[in-house]
Chains A and B, each alone.
Chain A
Amino acid sequence: EVQLMESGGDLVQPGGSLRLSCAASGFTFSNYNMNWVRQAPGKGLEWLSYIGSASSTIFYADSVKGRFTISRDNGKNSLFLQMNSLRDEDTAVYYCARALQGYRYGRGGMDVWGQGTTVTVSS
């Protein structure tokens, strides 16, 4: 079964750091581009970041650029999101999502999603 499973969400104080992980299974992870998307409580979806299959292409939303870093370890079938300088407005459910194959730079949307991990930024 194709599956993504996020972990690492927690309660953290403003200014703090957190590292999210996403474990992939059931498909050849190294062949796929990946994304992070978040959803604040009661709000819509916000795309955060994209990484190509070989990590050679990376994009960020302006809201996280310079604070968050996306990375991957194809040998461990894992995707990561290092989050620094966290703010109250970063409180959300964070999803990792697989980019649909056949489109460059994730332009075909996201066809497999994890269940999400919750990050709460609060003092």
Chain B
Amino acid sequence: DIQMTQSPSSLSASVGDRVTITCRASQSISNYLNWYQQEPRKAPKLLIYGAFSLQSGVPSRFSGSGSGTDFTLTISSLQPEDFATYYCQQTDSTPYTFGQGTKLEIK
């Protein structure tokens, strides 16, 4: 199975900050990497698919990059509604594993 490792596991930041979350795959996954946002007690929401494609309706302050084994999610200017937990997921091969999550908290 492909292991996905996110860093950091938690992060404190302020409204307006630029934030980057990293996801590393244990082997190459081409660009089959997706990012999700999950607010407490809610279902996850797809933000980025195919490593860098912005899902419809997602604000342009979210962006994704990377290929192979190293990927990043960047939020260019944090908004109050962005404080949530973020997960990466590889869909290169089954089982489609998720990272352990990055909890983004208000500083």
Contacts and interface: CB of A to CB of B under 8 A. Distances in A.
Given A44-B87, A47-B98, A107 B43 contact: no
Contacts of B91: 103, 105-109
Given A106-B91, A109-B49, A47 B96 contact: yes
Q: What is the interface residue range for chain A against chain B? A: 20 to 34
Interface stretch (A21-29, A84-92, A113-121): A113-121
A50 interface: yes
Interface in B74-102: 87, 89, 91-92, 94-101
Q: How large is the interface on B (under 10, 10 to 19, 20 to 34, 35 or more residues)?
A: 20 to 34
A114 to B, nearest CB: 7
* Secondary structure dominating the interface of B: loop
Contacts, number: 66
A64 to B, nearest CB: 10
A62 B1 CA distance: 10
A110 B95 contact: no
A15 B1 CA distance: 27
Nearest to B87: A45
Contact of A47 (B38, B46, B89): B89
A107 B32 contact: yes
Interface string B1-34: 1000000000000000000000000000000101
A50 B96 CA distance: 10
B43 A115 contact: yes
Given A111-B55, A113-B43, A106 B96 contact: yes
A12 to B, nearest CB: 22
Given A113-B45, A115-B43, A46 B92 contact: no
Interface of B: 1, 32, 34, 36, 38, 42-46, 49-50, 55, 87, 89, 91-92, 94-101
20 contacts: A44-B98, A44-B101, A45-B98, A47-B95, A50-B96, A59-B94, A60-B94, A62-B1, A103-B91, A105-B91, A105-B94, A106-B96, A108-B50, A109-B91, A111-B46, A113-B43, A113-B44, A113-B45, A115-B43, A116-B43
Interface of A: 35, 37, 44-47, 50, 59-62, 95, 97, 100, 103, 105-111, 113-116
